[in-house]
Amino acid sequence: MKKIITITLILFGSLSACKERVIKFNKIGWSEFEDGLPILREKMIDDLLKNHVLKGLSYKQLVDTVGTPNEQSILGFDSVSYIILLDYGHDIDPVHTKTLRFYFDKDSIITNWKIIEQKK
């Protein structure tokens, strides 16, 4: 009986270790890219949004905290975006994207943010 419990606990522990983990946000890890794709952002996004106050920051404070955005609004300086996930699958066009977009007021203060996810 003890053997069964021990084996069950070992198997459960092994399966739990395989689960994708959340990583605490840090600017250096957030900025890491490989082959033009973000490496750790998908694992850091939950911690960034739950444990860091972002609304009310100025654009400069956002850049100091998170880093330089990947995209800026074409029509003006009302929003910036950070690529969280970019998956090409076996295609030349992305099949799955996830972006974090920050929206600013006229004084360049963050008023809101939104995660935009698209799947092909």
Determine how many CB atoms are found less than 10 A away from the CB of residue 53.
Answer: 8
How large a percentage of the chain has pLDDT more than 90?
A: 63
CA-CA-CA-CA torsion for 21, 26, 28, 31, nearest 10 degrees? 70
Mean pLDDT of 97-116: 95
Residues 6 or more apart whose CB falls under 8 angstroms from that of 100 comprise 45, 49, 81, 82, 84, 113, 114, 115, 116
Res. 2 pLDDT band, cuts 50 70 90:
low
Distance CA 4, CA 13 (A): 14
- Judge if pTM exceeds 0.85: no
Give the pLDDT confidence of 49-83 residue by residue, as tens digits.
Answer: 999 999 999 999 999 999 999 988 766 679 999 99
Whether the pLDDT of residue 9 is over 50: the answer is no
**How confident is the model at residue 16, as a pLDDT?**
44
Structural contact between residues 62 and 52, judged by C-beta atoms closer than 8 angstroms: no
Mean pLDDT, the chain, integer:
85
- Beta-bridge mates of residue 109: 58
Nearest to 42 by CA among 98, 113, 108: 98
Whether the pLDDT of residue 10 is over 50: the answer is no
Mean pLDDT of 1-22: 50
For each of the domains in the chain, give its residue range(s) and CATH number, in order of start. 20-119 (3.30.1450)
